[in-house]
Amino acid sequence: MEALFMSLFTQPLFFVFLSMILYFLVQVIFGKFRREAYELSGPPSHPLIGCLVSFYKNRFRLLDWYTELLADSATSTIVVSRLGARRTIVTANPENVEYMLKTNFNNFPKGKPFTEILGDFLGCGIFNVDGELWLTQRKLASHEFGTKSLREYIMNSLEEEVEKGLLPLMESLAMKGEVVDLQELLRRFAFNVICKVFLGVERCSLDPSLPVPQLARAFDTASEICAMRGAAPVFIIWKIKRWLGIGSEQKLKAAVEEVHVYVMNIIETRRQKLDHDQSSGTSIDKDQDLLTRLIMAGHEDEVTRDMVISFIMAGRDTTSAAMTWLFWLISRHQTVEEDLVKEIEDNQRTMDFESLDFRLLKACLFESMRLFPPVAWDSKHAKVHDLLPDGTHVRAGDRVTYFPYGMGRMESLWGKDRLEFKPDRWFLEPDKETRSELKKVCPYKLPIFQAGPRVCLGKEMAFTQMKYVMASILRRFEIRPVYSDEPVFVPRLTAHMAGGLKVLVRKRGTN
Ligand code: HEM
């Protein structure tokens, strides 16, 4: 027996086995030690599988689960490690957010794990690249967005869409007394404005009872499947499906091709028109859509294509999501609605965009996005080891997520009434009569538009659009949701209301 036992030590396989056990024990003991030493807080975890069990239990309520864990964490930061997934640090701590989005910006790019997911769709567009490629496009786009002519073009497009599309449709819905999905209507509105501003193409119907236009449908399919890639528990599966060209990956390929062909055709036609105008001596209108400006600036077709696709993607569903939630919230807060209508009526003469000085409306939009941010969470990937201001260690390759949804619901940041819709919290003096000045809230406390060098490029355009649309509707119509249940907030690439918002439209002032 003893001889048999001793002979075991001469077997190479036995040594391999023993080393594996030792390695496992070291991992468990030191992993636990490390966790206690500086990983501050997180879901209940076990050796090897990490928090897989609790993650699985909470998989349909990840937003609220993370928010609860963050509220319990002394530093408002948690570390989520689970088998099969990248180690993720989720933070609702403004100092950490500032550090990752500004102070040490270069160490927190979007990174390959993110850009791979959207790469087939967005190519090298601004939304999906880092480093030099990003910086060059950022400078170019910031310059264009800063020009008075593009701002005027945006405003004219918006006005046309409201006057010719939105208001006539609302009028007819009010006359017929039909139920309509307001979220879908606003999505189509935003898509029309975006297509006009970035591609220079004309409007499609806003009526949700008509089929979704071809380009919008292809966009929807592509972004849904990309979101599915991001949410897949095991990455390799979508890669295998892509390699084999089957299932959702086959659909994605077709949708991306549709978008690419559509945009390339527009580029080709526009280029021909510009060449023709130039050779025939016709003067070229410089106040045009972004695509025409990029062509005139001499950028390559593929660069132009990817850039406008990124813009459509970034600006498409965000404003409609924010407005949908606000319409629902004010339908539940009648006094806020009355005050808003009064503010809009008092400012009727200043409906000329530049001077859209609706302070209460702006406060309501902030408050609605605090509770229901269009981008619920957003992640970067650390290039090298780092240390966040609250003492959390970051390892190279870690995913670091800032979390607007959770931040908007932290008692430490917003007080005991954090879950209530209270637009007055955004005023310096929240007295009804003296709602004269909005507070300057630090962008890292509520990064709904991100913050730092990569802050949303369309923030100003978004506010102009949302204020103009909300004011145009509220002034003339009452929006009444058909169901009284609390809607469900669904975080995808852009968050939305599950099942849309079914409403009845009534002309204001009629019973
Ligand atoms: C309520 C409306 C909006 C919200 C809440 C919002 C929010 C955001 C957020 C959180 C990001 C960072 C995302 C990331 O890096 O992964 C972002 C980036 C961006 N947004 Fe917006 N956005 C809105 C509207 C718009 C509109 C209307 C446009 C179109 C002009 C736009 C254009 C962009 C672009 C181009 C970027 C990428 C900037 C860069 O990477 O340098 N956004 N936005």
What residue owns the CA closest to ligand 1's atom 17? 456
The Å distance, Cα 110 to ligand 1 centre, comes to 14
Cβ-contact 407, 446 below 8 angstroms: yes
Burial class of 44 by CB neighbour count within 10 A (0 to 12, 13 to 18, 19+): exposed
Predicted pLDDT of residue 32: 47
List CB contacts of 249: < 8 A, sequence separation 6 or more. Answer: 225, 238, 241, 242
Nearest atom in ligand 1 to the alpha carbon of residue 145 is 30
DSSP letter at 207 equals -
Cβ-contact 123, 302 below 8 angstroms: yes
Q: Does any ligand 1 atom lie closer than 6 A to the CB of residue 262?
A: no
Structure tokens, 207? 């009526």
> Widest CA span of the chain, in angstroms?
102
Question: By 3-state DSSP, what share of the chain in percent is helix, strand and coil, each rounded to 5?
Answer: 60, 10, 30
Predicted pLDDT of residue 29: 47
Q: For the domain covering 126-507, report its CATH number.
A: 1.10.630.10
What residue owns the CA closest to ligand 1's atom 8? 449
Q: Does any ligand 1 atom lie closer than 6 A to the CB of residue 126?
A: yes
The Å distance, Cα 426 to ligand 1 centre, comes to 22
Cβ-contact 181, 501 below 8 angstroms: yes
DSSP-derived pairing of the beta strands 399-402 and 88-91: parallel
* Strands laid side by side in the 378-381 sheet: 77-80, 88-91, 399-402, 378-381
Distance separating alpha carbons of residues 86 and 234, to the nearest angstrom: 11
- Helices 167-176 and 459-476, axial angle in degrees (round to 10): 40
Q: Is 124 annotated as a binding residue?
A: no
How far from chain centre, in Å, is Cα 395? 26
What pLDDT, in 10s, does the model give residues 173-232? 999 999 999 999 999 999 999 988 888 887 777 888 888 888 889 999 999 999 888 877
Distance separating alpha carbons of residues 493 and 378, to the nearest angstrom: 9
What residue owns the CA closest to ligand 1's atom 20? 456
Distance separating alpha carbons of residues 101 and 106, to the nearest angstrom: 9
Rounded alpha-carbon distances, angstroms, from residue 429 to 270, 414, 417, 440, 486: 52, 16, 17, 12, 31
What residue owns the CA closest to ligand 1's atom 7? 449
Low-confidence ranges of the chain (pLDDT < 50): 1, 3-5, 8-9, 26, 28-39
Helical ranges in 285-317 per DSSP H: 290-296, 301-315
Structure tokens, 419? 């879950």
| Closest by CA position to 491, among listed 382, 386, 406 | 406
The Å distance, Cα 448 to ligand 1 centre, comes to 9
With vertex at residue 235, the alpha carbon angle to CA 229 and CA 238, rounded to the nearest 5 degrees, is 55
Sign of CA dihedral 116, 122, 126, 127: negative
Domain ranges in the chain are: 1-38, 126-507
Q: H-helix or E-strand containing 478?
A: strand 477-481
Tell me which of 108, 316, 317, 456 to substitute to probe ligand 1's pocket, judged by most ligand atoms within 8 Å of the beta carbon.
456
Predicted pLDDT of residue 12: 58
Distance separating alpha carbons of residues 466 and 472, to the nearest angstrom: 10
Distance separating alpha carbons of residues 239 and 279, to the nearest angstrom: 48
Q: Does any ligand 1 atom lie closer than 6 A to the CB of residue 318?
A: yes
Q: Is the pTM of this model over 0.85?
A: yes
Rounded alpha-carbon distances, angstroms, from residue 211 to 186, 187, 189: 15, 13, 14
Q: Does any ligand 1 atom lie closer than 6 A to the CB of residue 443?
A: no
